[in-house]
Structure formats: C-alpha cells, structure tokens
Amino acid sequence: MPYLRRVSRRVHWIVLGIALAVGVGIGAAISVVRSSGAPASPVVSGTPTVANPLLDPGTPLKGVAPGFTLTDQFGQRVSLRSLRGKVVVVSFNDPECTTICPLTTTALLHAKELLGPAASGIELLGVGANPEATEVKWVRAYSQAHGMMHKWRFLTGSLPELKRVWHAYGIEAAVVKVLIDHTPATYVIDSRGRFSRLYLTQMAYSSVDQLGFEMAQSLAALLPGHPHLHGTQSLAPISLLGPRKPVTLPQAGDGTVRLGPGSGPHLVLFFDTWETEVADLSAQLEALNRYQAAARSKGLPPLVAIDEGGVEPSPQALPGFLHTLPHPLSYPVAVDESGRVADGYREQDSPWLELVSGSGRFLFYEDLAVKGWPSLPQLLTKVHAALARAKG
C-alpha cells in the first residue's frame, strides 16, 4: 500500500528558542524560559563550541526536570518521580519516524553498551511526539521494529497528557503537511531529578556512534564511581564517501559492491528493514526486480540497494529479512555499516532513491518515505528524463 498516508502525518519538532541552521550544526544559543503557571523549564548554563558539524556535544542545563506520568509500550503507567535514584534519559520521538528518531534511539542504545554493567543505573525513556500516533500500539510497534521492547520505555498518553509534557520540556509537536523539520531533543536527568544536559541529534548516519559516545560520557559522570567506558571513539569530523569517491561495500550474503568513479551510473536505493513498521517493504523491494530487468534490456543504470546497517536493530536484521522474501532480489544489496556512504550521498530519509551519473553527479533524488514508491512506468520515465537532462 502507498507509504504516503502515514508520512503525510510527519511531526514538526521545535525546541523553543533553538537556532538551528540546516547543515551547519548546533553551536547555537538556547533559551527556554518559564511560562506563567508552568513547571520550571531548563535553563542553559553555557553555549558549546562545535568542532564537528555533524555532532552535538550537548549543552549543560540547570533546573528541576518537570514530572510526568505516562503509559509505556506494555500498557504500564510510568512516572518520572518513580525513577529517582537512577540517571534518566528522556528522548522525544515520533513512533512513525523514518528520519532522525532511529538515529537517536540507536545512539541511546550505544551509550548504554559503552557503560557495560554500570548501565543498570540508567533508565531510557522515550516520549511520543506525534499528535496523530498517541495509542500504545504505536510506541509498541516502534519498539518492536527497532529491537527495543525490553531496552527502554517508550511512553505515550492522551493528547492532552502529551501536550502538557511537550510544553513543560519546551517541545512543539504539530502536523506540517509532508515536510520534515526535525530537531528532536534528548534530555539527561540526574538521579536527583535535575537537568544535566540537552542533546539535539543531527540527520547524520555517520555520527550516530559519536553521539552515543558523547552521551555515554555525560552519563558516566553522573553515575557512582564515574565508570570508565568500554571503548573509545574519535569525535573528530568524519570523512564522507560521496559518489565522486570510489567505495567498496560488503554485499549481503557474499561478495562486494563497487560504487563511485569507474563503476558507471547507478540507481541507488537506501533503506532499512525497520521500515516494515510503516510500509510493505518486502513487496516494494521485490517490485524493483522489474526495474532491474528493464535496465538490463534497455541499457539503463543498474539498481543497487544499500541497507543502513549502523541503525539496524542487529547484524542479523538484514539477513533475516532477506530470508523471508518470497523471491530473491535480482539486484545487489550492500551494507553501509558506517553511514559514511549515506551521508556522502545526502540521504535524508528512509527509503531514499537517487540516480547518480558515472562521474558522480546527482541526476535526481526521491524521498520515497514522503512521495511513495513509484510504479515501474513512473520510475522508467524519471530515469529517462534525468539521463536526457544530463546529456543536454
């Protein structure tokens, strides 16, 4: 079925007072003030300097975190106050999100992994931020799709309940057509219930592990004994692998896939297996077998699919998914574990389709999560038109 129905209800996120330049990074002053009659909101105690434009190092906060009681993915009521004594991470996420929320939740899990046994002192909370997906079934579906059912508590409630929490934490959530303006906030709260830090996730697959490391460092500083992290991580800017750079990726099953100069033009599809939460991914991938057959017969650019392995729930997610397909795919499926290819190819959503010339030029791109999957005739028309424009 068309994917457009669900993504037309995208959530527009704004952390009040945040100046966020697209593609520039955070590095902006934040001022979240207290409204009359409202709980105390966080007050920023400093403005960070950002050396890595794809990574938010976090902003120190002061103040008491406003309390709330909501319902988790198991239908159990959970209050923030009941978690006193633990360091709590509160992240605002759209349970139907296919853009930035999966990056955030992957970073949260990575942060806990880095803490090892000390992570038992951490509680991860998600708070739903989609005014049209407030039922428990939505937070449960997201948790299942991302392998997080027993790794966090994804909270929701009635719309009035959620609106009170959004207001208290300086979050706006509203429906804005099909456009995505996503600045999701993640708050770190100490064991006494006081704000410690605010993180804003960048739309960058390559910096997910870096964000997890940043979060893990701030969490460790709040835990008894300040435990050492189980691993190290450079926080320097990461070199991206765009279409003008040669790259060899591992192929699902066996072999490798080459992209970049010398490999010819390609139609490139970026996807993730967790899209099955909101779309019939199996049917859409199988339908692309017809494009591959047409490309061979008509001399069109071949299709290569790339799975964003770094934000999959496990290394087994892709092989397991491919094994469930009724028919094998006739095009290669590569794995981009680092996210450097996705960012180099400017992927902004999942699934994401683009045509790249042999010289590394972007000929067209299509946000399939927003516009829906094209039929074979539509796709062939787009490819022919893009190739004609490139020649002209």
Q: How far is CA 175 from CA 21, 47, 248, in A?
A: 21, 30, 40
Using only C-alpha atoms, the chain has a radius of gyration, in whole angstroms, of 21
**pLDDT over threshold 60, residue 37:** no
pTM, two decimals, is 0.88
pLDDT for 7: 33
pLDDT for 71: 99
Per the DSSP assignment, residues forming a β-bridge with 78 are: 70
pLDDT for 23: 30
Q: Which of 39-48, 300-309, 341-350 has the lowest mean pLDDT?
A: 39-48
pLDDT for 25: 33
46: how many CB neighbours lie within 10 A of its CB? 11
**pLDDT over threshold 50, residue 48:** no
pLDDT for 314: 97
At 242, give phi and psi (nearest 5°): -85, 180
**pLDDT over threshold 60, residue 355:** yes
pLDDT for 171: 86
pLDDT average, residue stretch 97-101 = 94
Q: Are strands 122-128 and 87-93 parallel, antiparallel or unpaired?
A: parallel
Name residues whose C-beta falls within 8 Å of residue 259's C-beta, 6 or more positions apart in sequence: 243, 246, 247, 248, 249, 266, 268, 304, 334, 341, 356
**pLDDT over threshold 60, residue 357:** yes
pLDDT in tens, 126-182: 999 999 999 999 999 999 999 999 999 999 999 999 999 999 998 877 666 544 344
pLDDT in tens, 174-222: 666 544 344 579 999 999 999 999 999 999 999 999 999 999 999 999 9
pLDDT in tens, 56-67: 999 999 999 999
> At CA 200, angle to CA 195 and CA 206, rounded to 5?
135
pLDDT in tens, 223-272: 999 999 999 999 999 999 999 999 999 999 999 999 999 999 999 999 99
Sorting pLDDT into bands at 50, 70 and 90, what band is 16? very low
% pLDDT > 70, the chain: 84
Which tokens go with 98?
Answer: 């296919």
DSSP label of 287: H
pLDDT for 2: 30
* Ordered domains of the chain (ranges, CATH): 4-222 (3.40.30.10), 247-391 (3.40.30.10)
pLDDT for 177: 59
Sorting pLDDT into bands at 50, 70 and 90, what band is 391? confident
pLDDT for 184: 79
pLDDT average, residue stretch 94-98 = 94
**pLDDT over threshold 60, residue 28:** no
> At CA 165, angle to CA 160 and CA 169, rounded to 5?
145
Determine the Cα–Cα distance for residues 314 and 305; give it in Å rounded to an integer. Answer: 18
pLDDT for 96: 93
pLDDT average, residue stretch 40-69 = 76
pLDDT for 36: 32
pLDDT in tens, 283-342: 999 999 999 999 999 999 999 999 999 999 999 999 999 999 999 999 999 999 999 999
Q: Are strands 59-62 and 362-367 parallel, antiparallel or unpaired?
A: unpaired
